[in-house]
Amino acid sequence: MQAQESVNLYTQQLKKLEKVGKILALSNEELEVLSKPERVIQVKIQIKSNNSIKTFLGWRSQHNSALGPYKGGVRFHPNVTQDEVIALSMIMTWKNSLLQLPYGGGKGGIAIDPKLLSKEELELVSRKYIDGLYKYLGEDFDIPAPDVNTDSQIMAWFVDEYVKLTGNINFSSFTGKTEILGGLKIREFSTGLGLVSIAKLASEKFLGNLSGKTVIIQGFGNLGSFAAKFFEENGSKVIGVSDSKGGVFNEKGLRYEELEKAKKATGSVINYSDANKISNEELIEKECDILVPAALENVITKANASKIKAKLIVEGANGPITAEADEILKQRQIIVIPDILANSGGVVGSYVEWANNKSGNLINEEEAKDLILKRMERAFYEIYNKYNSLGNEDFRTASMVVAVERVIKGMKERGLI
């Protein structure tokens, strides 16, 4: 995606936590406890390929379990680092707390480019990752799910390896699975569905009706593509999208079905016929009503925050805006709906799948969809009320105040601090 400044995501999260700590009058000791993960496991993965040995590193960060078992995805990406995984697990703690899910925060990743592996190699890497972690996983301890470059097939390999190693035929230890293994179809698009439902509520509060609003989406993976679909269904005009190879822009609008066809046929949206090609850097600086950064972290920084022309930003990726950029956007009165709310449809969908597996798969897809949307709507209004009561603070700060306060309360009641 976009060329990024050298910004450490973990450092950024600590800055955001420190700001919230001042509002909540947290002690240095309390901030210290919240800033460090409870456990980080590193896994060395070795596979044989073409008479050579390939070695990769993977991690699982278990940030906080005050409110329940660790929950969060696993990403496969060449830029994954231990610090990034720790930061993402921290974000998951706030996200799960904010949505009042019975979870703490966890996150995993392997520093690998899955596009360079054969299917057989990808399966072997996936299984060896679980080989190194299985003692620290389980339906009531840590429940992984898909994230960047991972999907239901990889979760199926995770499940099978976990069953082989533990002898425990329990599919609720992972979510985002294939339907035949207890997954819910809605989990595939719940992040995009949830994001657009939050964008609709935010638009009604700050911009007016979502119908007719112009939208730019940076990133056309699972989240970005489904977001485009649901924005279109709500009458919005998607005028720009991008993926790792670049973007396309047409102020008259882009058609979701044609974008999907171009992506599937050629591997990139840049081959969409009726639009101008544009770089990722240029795309996010284009004028629009709603901007959705749905790729990777740190794409809006102090270097380009002053050039953003959107009226409302809805974070699809985790950590796409740095702490310094947040302050610039706040001064410019650009509303930012943070990742811990906007992209939480995925983890709410995972929660429904997990609870459904544990209860014997009693829920249907329509009931699951209703649960996800109602849970996110409730969280939005709770944050909106907090936002108004705080006065001169932004929406992210209001969200984190609600989330961090809940975690601190849980830790105090359990005697952890």
**Which active-site residues does the annotation give?**
107
What's the CA gap between 149 and 238, in Å, rounded? 24
Does residue 298 contact residue 4 with C-beta atoms inside 8 Å?
yes
Closest CA to 320 of 396, 406, 206: 396
Q: Is 118 helix (H, G, I), strand (E, B) or coil?
A: coil
Q: CA nearest 344: which of 305, 383, 302, 316?
A: 316
Residue 379, CA distances (Å) to 99, 223, 238, 382 in order: 6, 20, 26, 5
Helices (H), 75-134: 82-98, 119-133
β-strand 142-146 against 104-111: which pairing, if any? unpaired
| Selection from 399, 390, 395, 236 nearest residue 329 by Cα | 395
- In order of 130, 216, 324, 332, 346, the CA distances from 315 in angstroms are 30, 12, 16, 17, 13
Residues 6+ apart with CB under 8 A from 368: 184, 186, 349, 352, 353, 356
Q: Collect all residues with Cβ–Cβ distance below 8 Å to 217 and sequence separation of at least 6.
A: 224, 227, 228, 231, 238, 240, 241, 242, 292, 294, 316
410: burial class by Cβ within 10 Å (0-12, 13-18, 19+)?
A: middle
Nearest to 241 by CA among 200, 272, 201: 272
